[in-house]
Amino acid sequence: MTVVVSASCRGSYRVLPLLSQQRKPTSSLLGFVPHRHRRQVHLPSRQLFKQLAATSCLDDASDERSNNQRSSSISSVSGPIYEVKGVPTVKLFTKQGCTLCDKVKGALESVREVQPHSLIQVDITDDDKQEWFSKYKYDIPVLHINDIYWTKHRLSTEEAIAGISEARTGDFSARRGEPDAGRLEHKH
């Protein structure tokens, strides 16, 4: 008998038996099947179960805060991408593996020479970023300029130039539509 361990993202585990292709022969005279005593099945250690659950759930979009806390201890993407003194600071709220965030980052980097700015990433799955996770967990990428909400999801180069230009002249104001998932979710 072969055993396969299936770890779900919710922390529960199932042991799935797989019958081998070879079966013990039966007696053709009486149709007798030899009695089997206890099956000796060796399961992986509890530590291996925990590791399987932790690594198999990192990119699962349906995971809630518990799995995100586990992933933040593994690899955080928080920190400066590039910094320039005396220019607007753009904060990109993101998490590991966010492909839309990479596109937004590319748009910002492409206008870096035309509209100088600093770019800081904030990983919403970090343990100390629970407030941002609660607000933005369904809407990353989210962008702020000088700690004021700017936009979410997508950013063209034209929008990047216009927004950073407004911030440089002091005309930038908060945009409508800032996400707040935590406020809108039903509390049980």
With a cut of 90, say whether residue 128 has pLDDT above it.
yes
pLDDT at residue 86, rounded to an integer:
96
How far apart, in whole angstroms, are the C-alpha atoms of residue 119 and residue 6? Answer: 41
pLDDT at residue 44, rounded to an integer:
55
Whole-model pTM: value is: 0.61
How far apart, in whole angstroms, are the C-alpha atoms of residue 14 and residue 21? Answer: 22
Domain ranges of the chain: 76-184
Nearest to 58, CA basis, from 69, 50, 49, 47? 69
- Does domain 76-184 correspond to CATH entry 3.40.50.410? no
**Cβ–Cβ < 8 Å for 123, 76:** yes
pLDDT at residue 32, rounded to an integer:
52
pLDDT at residue 187, rounded to an integer:
63
